Amino acid sequence: MGKIIAVANQKGGVGKTTTVINLGFALSELGKRVLLVDGDPQGNSTSGIIQKRNIKPNLYDALLCDISVKEVILPLKDGKTSIRDNISLIPSNLELAGAEIELVPVFLRELRLKKVLEPVKDDYDYIFIDCPPSLGLLTVNALSASQYVLIPLQCEYYALEGISQLLKTIELIKKDLNPALEILGILLTMYNRTILAQQVLDETKRFFKDKVFNTLIPRNVRLSEAPGFSLSIFEYAPDSSGAGAYRELARELMNIGK
């Protein structure tokens, strides 16, 4: 069975979508079978790698309309580059925003995504779920469906503020919904060689100890530009420092648990 990993942090702009896309593509480049699940109504994981909009069916249809997940999965293989041969996407758009409300009366509402992914969880080595910047029902579904949670943390002054609420949410989900859930690691993003960034790194290591990834994702303009062309960093700027960091992170991830 593959690893199901929720990429979560209720703070926006910390690199969740950038990590889901580029870590997924890095693992695909290494020959791993990868599924990306766009669990954010903003649909940035979708628009960041494909140019189509308002794709039907999508994650909303799988969650609320009982559409088979196999009808929703979109293979990214395009015949142009081998990096897309092993990677697929469950797309989303703003329609998913209604799911927060529409799921409220649904039986076992917190476990809908787990049920959706059940038929395909053995078809992939890694499934990454891009969570919205909130701790609402969509994020709860992602955490309930996952074995692990990866937490991107931006190297800025307020980075650690608010993360305590995410940790409380994780503990509640472990207690009531998903006892197997573990923190895979804390990923420092937008790192540069400043005193502030080093202070954030030191403080994070002091608090989370060995749960902090050795790989640091640098502040890199190419990482910011790539989604505008619906490309991963490996297709847009394969020799950039951002691409190198995500390749390093993929190798580090593959060694966890060995």
Of 128, 126, 156, 117, the closest CA to residue 8 belongs to 128
3-255 has CATH 3.40.50.300 classification: yes
Per-residue confidence (pLDDT) for residue 19, from 0 to 100:
98
- What is the rounded distance in angstroms from the CA atom of residue 235 to the CA atom of residue 16? 19
**Cα–Cα distance measured from residue 162 to residue 72, given in angstroms and rounded to the nearest whole number:** 34
Per-residue model confidence (pLDDT) at position 28: 96
Domain ranges for the chain: 3-255
The token duo for 130 is: 């891009």
Dist. CA 128–CA 79, nearest whole Å: 23
* pTM, to two decimals: 0.95
Q: Render each residue's pLDDT in the chain as its tens digit; 258 residues.
A: 689 999 999 998 999 999 999 999 999 999 999 999 999 999 999 999 998 777 899 999 999 998 999 999 999 988 777 899 999 999 999 889 888 888 888 888 999 999 999 999 999 999 999 999 999 999 999 999 999 999 999 988 787 887 888 999 999 999 999 999 999 999 999 999 888 889 989 999 999 999 999 999 999 999 999 999 999 999 999 999 999 999 999 999 999 866
Do residues 153 and 186 lie in contact, with contact meaning Cβ atoms separated by under 8 Å? yes
**Helix H or strand E encompassing 37:** strand 34-38
The DSSP code sequence of 97-157 is GGHHHHTTTSTTGGGHHHHHHGGGTTS-SEEEEE--SSSSHHHHHHHHH-SEEEEEEESST
Q: Determine the pLDDT at residue 66.
A: 87
Give the pLDDT of residue 239. Answer: 97
Interaxial angle between packed helices 163-176 and 137-145, expressed in degrees from 0 to 180 and rounded to the nearest 10: 60
